[in-house]
Amino acid sequence: LLFLLLMKTSSIIYGCMQFGRSWDNQPISIQDRKAAFDAIEAAIESGITAFDLADIYTLGKSETLMGSFIQQNPSFRSKIFIQTKAGIRLHQGILGSNIYDLSGDYLRSQVELSLDRLKTDYLDMFMLHRPDPLVQIQNLRETIESLMESGLIKSFGVSNMSFHQIEWLRSVIPIPIKANQVRFSLGHSLMLDDEVFFNRDRHSDNSSAGTLAHAAVESVELQAWSPLDKGLYLQAPDETDDAAVINTSLQLNKLAKKYDVSPATIQLAWILRLPYKIRPVIGTMKPDRIKEAAQADNVQLDRKDWYDLWISAKGERLP
Ligand SMILES: NC(=O)c1ccc[n+]([C@@H]2O[C@H](COP(=O)([O-])OP(=O)(O)OC[C@H]3O[C@@H](n4cnc5c(N)ncnc54)[C@H](OP(=O)(O)O)[C@@H]3O)[C@@H](O)[C@H]2O)c1
């Protein structure tokens, strides 16, 4: 495995959100451990070396399982990229809602907790999970600077942020924002739609217009979460699915035959075909599906195929 890490690395990031199965205090089972280790090994065998986590995933079990793998394979640590996030406090609001918290002391304590679970001295990247409208930005700056200076985090990123938010952070925090992890996929292509249909009609929102181009200009790596729409187009369609879902599923299957890969590979290749170097963060734990996903780097969809998928998923003609 270690030898495989020297090969070309994939643009796919492996998302560990499912490690440990349930978001509760059920202890980690032997099966959970085996499933997580099998997934990590399948990722590495496929050239995937970046792993995405968060303090909240399965209430910490996800980080604990990644930590067990690192503890058992210490020579891997320097060859893989570990990113984790903090800033969401689960179910702490009224109605059982989550609330967001980017206050410095809280983030520092979450980073320390993550490091402890992950059995590592440093995070390759620490990400703010969501924007917090109550953020005190000077306090955030001091915290991120001190985490960087102490070597606990090697780089800094964000998630679910508009480029306006990023510009605001950048205006105060003198540390590069290396990545923004946002929802993006064939079935959730708002950032792209807003870019292309800018100024289309009076009802359009266009709130995400500019995100893609801004990231390219400012060298913020975009990472796409739920890049396979959680399997929406990959399971056999049934009569409850709408026409766009059925057509997209058929289209993915047709192109899978043409390019001799799986439909999931085609769906990821659709993201990779854009010029913005967006990195899909995949979530399956099945080793075969992880290996299939990694093949997306080798597929170059032709222009019409790429557009046909986009049009199918939108369910309407382009203007
Ligand atoms: N920053 C954020 O706010 C945020 C939010 C959500 C997620 N994330 C990150 O993004 C990662 C991925 O999210 P996601 O799990 O929603 O992404 P996804 O890759 O779009 O969805 C994975 C789901 O699709 C299913 N699926 C069905 N057919 C599949 C096929 N042929 N190939 C692959 N998967 C198939 C998988 O089922 P099986 O497991 O049965 O294969 C799994 O349940 C997470 O692990 C997490 O790291 C970040």
**Chain centroid to CA 200: how far?**
29
The secondary structure of residue 310, as a DSSP letter, is H
* Structure tokens, 131: 């924007």
Which protein residue's CA is at the shortest distance from atom 25 of ligand 1?
231
315 vs 1, more confident? 315
Q: For ligand 1, pick from 17, 229, 249 the residue to mutate: most ligand atoms within 8 Å of CB.
A: 17
Spacing, Cα 280 to ligand 1 middle (Å): 10
268 within 8 A of 11, measured Cβ to Cβ: no
Which protein residue's CA is at the shortest distance from atom 24 of ligand 1?
230
In the predicted model, what is the mean pLDDT of residues 23-37? 97
Spacing, Cα 283 to ligand 1 middle (Å): 3
Residue 4 confidence class, pLDDT cut points 50, 70, 90: low
* Structure tokens, 53: 């986590």
Q: Which residues contact 3 (CB under 8 A, 6 or more apart)?
A: none
Spacing, Cα 198 to ligand 1 middle (Å): 29
What's residue 41's pLDDT? 97
d(Cα 144, Cα 139) in Å, to the nearest integer? 9
Angstrom CA distances, 264 to 41, 56, 97, 197, 247, stand at 20, 27, 33, 27, 15
* Structure tokens, 11: 């643009």
Atom of ligand 1 nearest to the CA of 182: 1
Radius of gyration of the chain (CA): 20
d(Cα 212, Cα 94) in Å, to the nearest integer? 34
* Structure tokens, 295: 């093949």
Q: For ligand 1, pick from 53, 281, 285 the residue to mutate: most ligand atoms within 8 Å of CB.
A: 281
Residue 293 confidence class, pLDDT cut points 50, 70, 90: very high
What's residue 111's pLDDT? 98
The secondary structure of residue 97, as a DSSP letter, is -
Asked whether the predicted pLDDT for residue 206 surpasses 90, the reply is no
Instruction: For 139-190, write each residue's pLDDT tens digit.
Output: 999 999 999 999 999 999 999 999 999 999 999 999 999 999 999 999 999 9
Asked whether the predicted pLDDT for residue 6 surpasses 70, the reply is no
In the predicted model, what is the mean pLDDT of residues 254-270? 98
What's residue 63's pLDDT? 98
Spacing, Cα 14 to ligand 1 middle (Å): 9
109 within 8 A of 120, measured Cβ to Cβ: no
Residue 205 confidence class, pLDDT cut points 50, 70, 90: confident
Spacing, Cα 227 to ligand 1 middle (Å): 7
What's residue 204's pLDDT? 75
The secondary structure of residue 149, as a DSSP letter, is H
What's residue 199's pLDDT? 81
Q: For ligand 1, pick from 182, 252, 284 the residue to mutate: most ligand atoms within 8 Å of CB.
A: 284
Spacing, Cα 195 to ligand 1 middle (Å): 25
Q: CA 158, 164, 167 angle in degrees (round to 5)?
A: 70
Spacing, Cα 54 to ligand 1 middle (Å): 14
Angstrom CA distances, 51 to 80, 174, 209, stand at 8, 26, 28
